[in-house]
């Protein structure tokens, strides 16, 4: 079954609850009022029969009744019978054809066809006369008819009421959950745009409507503010440190170069200087990556795009990398479609490809192969760097784009800082493209980048 939203669930619960409450209230009301109506009908019948005794007299030993005896008050009919059941005077309602046995002073409910009657008999002996029975009859069905009409009316009104309750419930729930929707939207926007400057801002202009959800949103905004501050400080720190390190590293490199150019310096002393130079170069590379990323974060990193024959450029980079790959006995193959022209920033495109190829070489096995391909597909160019190396586990795959993330630090030396792929991703996206990675441990990895033409 499709999952229902909280809004719909709450509306259903609210509506069902309200219908139950309404039905219970109506049920109690009807049962009380029906009992009340029937009790009052019985009382009226009893009183009327007892009072009618005054209308029954004897004249010359013969029983007679007044004209009042014939009048039907509140639906009560009166009749006088002899003890053996012989009808003397009075009126019997239409439809009451039975002649039940007399039962003195007792109200009975008698059902006849589809009508019900209350019958009350009272034995009476007038002066100098024989005992007679005065019988009062009134219709139960007529008495019940009034609230039956109300009941039928309620049956019609109930679905209408349920509809109104559902509508009110839905509006109410929607209004109540609106802030939750806004919080969710804000969080989603922060996730997609990676923009921590967004706020829920529910409390804006709602000085009097503050409830628990508004306080939650407010707390959330405060937390976002703190997070933004922390991230801002972290970025600033990275940027400042990179700047500060750039000059000493350049000085170290310059000094190493100067020392190494000294002809008189013995080879024994040159060796450690070469090592220092190599490490300083790695450091310079790392600083350059960090600076690029922090400039990108601040939106200050500009691209210098120009229309290039990207096929040629890719081929040149592949050949250059082949020399480095040979150290590891790795072979680089290319499958590059000719003369694809695209507007890219040349230095950034080189950085993207060099990073992907050097990773493929680093993480490939001895005598492994790396394949570089480039083709045009619709309005995009699709580039691919594939290797048959160690691969990446599925759980690590989503994280490889994160800064300083390295799957297994023991496999590589300090030159691998875990910044390369973050930079590659930024370059692809800054060109309006994207990059994806597919991999299977022990089988190899494939990095595919797409750039718009």
Residues near ligand ADP, by CB under 6 A? 355, 359-360, 363, 387, 389-392, 400, 405-408, 412, 416-421, 445
Closest CB 360 distance from ligand ADP, rounded Å: 5
Nearer of residues 290 and 407 to ligand ADP, judged by Cβ? 407
Shortest Å, Cβ 394 to ligand ADP:
13
Q: Which is nearer to ligand ADP, 291 or 421 (CB)?
A: 421
H or E segment to which residue 328 belongs? none
Give per-residue burial for 194-213: e unless 16+ CB within 10 Å, then b. Answer: eeeeebbebbeeeeeeeeeb
- For tokens 């054809």, the residue is 97
Comparing CB distances to ligand ADP, the nearer of 132 and 407 is: 407
Q: Which is nearer to ligand ADP, 217 or 427 (CB)?
A: 427
- Output the CA angle 13-16-20, nearest 5 degrees: 135
Structure tokens at 100: 């039940």
437 near 397, Cβ under 8 Å? yes
Task: Please state, as a whole number, how many other Cβ atoms lie within 10 Å of the Cβ of residue 248.
Answer: 11
Q: Token digits for 309?
A: 């024959």
How far apart, in whole angstroms, are the C-alpha atoms of residue 345 and residue 76? Answer: 106
For residues 136 and 77, the answer to whether their CB atoms sit within 8 Å is yes
Query: Residues with Cβ < 8 Å from 62, sequence gap 6 or more?
Result: 129
Nearer to ligand ADP, 78 or 390 (CB): 390
DSSP 137-175: EEEHHHHHHHHHHHHHHHHHHHHHHHHHHHHHHHHHHHH
Residue whose C-beta lies closest to ligand ADP: 420
Report the distance separating Cα 136 and Cα 48, nearest Å. 8
Of residues 83 and 399, the one with the C-beta less far from ligand ADP: 399
For ligand ADP, the closer of residues 119 and 360 by Cβ is 360
* DSSP symbol at 207: S
Taking alpha carbons only, the member of 428, 408, 427, 426 closest to residue 418 is 408
């Amino acid at each position: 079954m499709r999952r229902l939203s909280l809004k719909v669930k709450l509306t259903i619960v609210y509506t069902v609850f309200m219908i139950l409450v309404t039905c219970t209230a109506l049920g109690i009301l009807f049962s009380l009022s029906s009992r009340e109506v029937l009790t009052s009908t019985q009382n009226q019948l009893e009183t009327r029969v007892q009072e009618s005794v005054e209308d029954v007299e004897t004249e010359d030993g013969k029983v007679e009744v007044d004209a009042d005896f014939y009048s039907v008050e509140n639906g009560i009919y009166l009749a006088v019978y002899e003890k053996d059941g012989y009808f003397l005077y009075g009126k019997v309602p239409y439809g009451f054809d039975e002649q039940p046995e007399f039962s003195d002073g007792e109200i009975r409910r008698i059902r006849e066809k589809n009508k019900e009657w209350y019958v009350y008999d009272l034995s009476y002996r007038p002066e100098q006369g024989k005992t007679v029975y005065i019988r009062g009859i009134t219709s139960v069905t007529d008495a019940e008819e009034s609230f039956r009409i109300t009941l039928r009316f309620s049956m019609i009104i109930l679905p209408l009421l349920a509809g109104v309750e559902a509508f009110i419930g839905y509006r109410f729930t929607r209004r109540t959950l609106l802030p939750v929707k806004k919080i969710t939207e804000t969080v989603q926007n922060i996730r997609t745009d990676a923009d921590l400057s967004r706020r829920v801002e529910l409390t804006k202009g709602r000085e009097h409507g503050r409830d628990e959800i508004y306080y939650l949103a407010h707390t959330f905004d405060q937390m976002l503010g703190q997070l933004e501050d922390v991230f801002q400080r972290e970025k600033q720190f990275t940027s400042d440190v990179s700047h500060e390190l750039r000059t000493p590293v350049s000085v170290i490199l310059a000094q190493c170069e100067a020392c190494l150019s000294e002809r008189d310096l013995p080879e024994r002393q040159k060796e450690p200087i070469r090592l220092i130079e190599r490490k300083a170069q790695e450091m310079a590379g790392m600083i350059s990556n960090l600076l690029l990323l922090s400039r990108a974060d601040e939106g200050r990193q500009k691209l210098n795009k120009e229309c290039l024959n990207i096929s040629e450029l890719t081929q040149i980079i592949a050949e250059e990398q082949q020399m480095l790959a040979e150290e590891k006995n790795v072979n680089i193959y290319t499958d590059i479609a000719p003369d694809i022209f695209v507007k890219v920033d040349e230095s950034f495109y080189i950085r993207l490809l060099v990073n992907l190829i050097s990773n493929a070489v680093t993480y490939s096995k001895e005598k492994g192969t790396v394949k570089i391909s480039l083709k045009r597909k619709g309005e995009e160019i699709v580039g691919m760097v594939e290797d048959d190396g160690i691969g990446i586990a599925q759980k690590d795959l989503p994280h490889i784009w994160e800064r300083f993330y390295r799957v297994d630090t023991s496999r590589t030396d300090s030159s691998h800082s875990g910044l390369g792929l973050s930079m590659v991703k930024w370059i692809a996206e800054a060109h309006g493209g994207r990059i994806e990675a597919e991999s299977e441990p022990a089988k190899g990895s494939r990095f595919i980048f797409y750039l718009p033409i």
